[in-house]
Each structure stands twice: as C-alpha cells, then as structure tokens.
Amino acid sequence: MDHPDLNLLVTLDVLLQEGSVARAARRLELSASAMSRALARVRAVTGDPLLVRAGRGLVPTPRARELRERVRQLVQESAAVLRPDREVDLARLARTFTLRTSEGFVENFGPAILRLVRREAPGVRLRFVPKADKEGTALREGIVDLETGVIEPTTSPELRAQALFHDRYVGVVRAGHPLARGRVTPARYAAGLHISVSRRGLDDDPIDAALAPLGLTRVIVVAILGGFASALALARASDLIASVPERHTGALRAGMHTFALPFPSREITVSLLWHPRLDADPAHRWLRECVRTACGVKARTPAR
C-alpha cells in the first residue's frame, strides 16, 4: 500500500494561501523550479490542477477552494502535535471565545465565568450565543468554541465532553399559588394547568413519562419551543405550573415558589462540549477550566 507524502500538505497549504508559486517558494525557502515540481506532485496526488493561470496570476479551482480550510486545519493540528505543550500568557491573551448555551446557563453561571476570566485574562472577550438546536456543526466548523448541554444519542460522537453538573426537574409556581401551600401530591400536581418546554418540538416530555405509570396526565396549556426563561416568566404572572431543571434555573426562579416533584423523574447531566481540534490548545483548556470552576466542579473528570 502506498503511503502519501504528508509533506505535500504543508506545500499545498502554503500554495493555497499565497495563490502564487513564486511567493510560496519564498515562504518555504525553495527555488521557483522546486516549487513548481512540488505543485506538479500535489496535482498528481489530488487529481486536480488546483491553481490555474488567469492573466498574469493563478486562481484556485473549485476543488482548491473546497480543500483550503481542511488543509489549513490539518497542518495546524499536525503542528500542535509536534510542538511541546506550553503555558499561555493569560495577562497578554487577546482572544474572543464563543460559547453556545441556553439562557438559563448564562443567567446562573455567566457572572461567575466572567469574574474568573476577567481576573486572569482581562484581554479575553466572551461571546454567548443561543442554542437554536443540538447540531454539532458550529463546533465542527469553528464557529463556536464551547457548548453546554445534555448529551443525547444524536450528539456527534466526534465531540469531546466533560460533565459539569447533575440536575433534576422541580415544579415552580408564582408566590401565592395554591401549590405553594400544603403537601404537593402527584394528583394535585397533575390537576393544575402546565407549561411544557421543548427545544425540538416533540410532544413527549420526561414529566409526562414519569406521570404515566401513576395513571396521571397533565393539561398542557402552553407549549414553548425554546428556553426555560420564557416558561418561568409565564408562570410568574399566572397560575400555570412550570417544570424546569433546578440548578439550571436558580437565578431565574428568584421570588417564586419551588417544590420537589412528588414522583421520581430522571436526572439530567449537563456537559461541556468542544471539538477535538481544540483539545490541546492551552487557552481553550484554560477556558474550559474556568467554566468547570464556575459550575462548582472541583475534581477533573476525563473527557470521553
């Protein structure tokens, strides 16, 4: 079996960045003829001309444009593997990190994350973006640096993940609601009017699944496709009952009455997710530790 010359990746990376044989030759400290021979080898391996003459210059083919970012990523990852691990100078670090999280996570853990980041790396800027779906494309393409969420069968297996905390569902009503007084039984809970929250637009809900063995069903008055903040805002201003994750919504539930669900319901694990290409990046590793610390994680757990 023939083994490809991986040095050609570096050659191709520089050629695609420079778009010129002469400039690529100077950058790689090669003669123009040696660079032309290297381009011919890359063309033979890929089966594509890659750079074609247009007037006095060269322009990339569609295949070259398709390969540009993939080759750049491969070269950077290879360089990281062969480079000794280094400490990052946090005091001088100037970088923007994008975190994809839910509203509730920002409300509850954002201030602590920000304090840690500002204290150690004042030049770092955090950008929080909402979670419209559970797709891992944004992490894969580098649009997002970190994401928080519950790992599900649809979560991409290529992503790295570390558990941040375990959470459980609780019931929440406005202060003065009838369920704020007396013992909450499964029957009393089910008899109320409820808000259902789903990100995926599915009718099934873990609360309904837990009530089914008891022969009880809820009356869903409002179904929300989105975050728990909207559900809690509605419950605060009405007699509706919201069932939300406890830790995830701590700050959002201020001034409301929270009660334990009167039946067993499944626990959820909120995890931190990132793409493996950032695994060894020291600045990214530092940011992951900041998020874990803000969430109260004391001991490191291995990434999957």
Q: How confident is the model at residue 1 (pLDDT cuts 50, 70, 90)?
A: very low
Q: Give the helix ranges, DSSP H, for 146-225.
A: 186-191, 206-211
Q: How confident is the model at residue 17 (pLDDT cuts 50, 70, 90)?
A: confident
Q: What is the mean pLDDT of residues 73-81?
A: 77
The pLDDT value recorded for residue 219 is 93
Whether 67 and 48 have beta carbons less than 8 Å apart is answered as no
pTM to 2 decimal places = 0.64
Which H or E run contains 62?
helix 62-82
Q: 172 or 200, which is more confident?
A: 172
Q: What is the mean pLDDT of residues 6-30?
A: 87
| Burial of residue 297 (number of CB atoms within 10 Å: 0-12, 13-18, 19+) | middle
Q: How confident is the model at residue 293 (pLDDT cuts 50, 70, 90)?
A: very high
Tell how strand 268-274 and strand 193-198 pair up: unpaired
| Spans of all domains in the chain | 7-82, 90-167+269-294, 169-266
What letter would DSSP give residue 175?
T
Which H or E run contains 82?
helix 62-82
CATH code: domain 169-266 is 3.40.190.10
Q: What superfamily would CATH give domain 90-167+269-294? A: Periplasmic binding protein-like II (3.40.190.10)
Domains 7-82 and 169-266 share a fold: no
The pLDDT value recorded for residue 301 is 45
| Burial of residue 274 (number of CB atoms within 10 Å: 0-12, 13-18, 19+) | buried
Residue listed under structure tokens 């991409």? 156
Question: Is the domain 7-82 a CATH 1.10.10.10 member?
Answer: yes
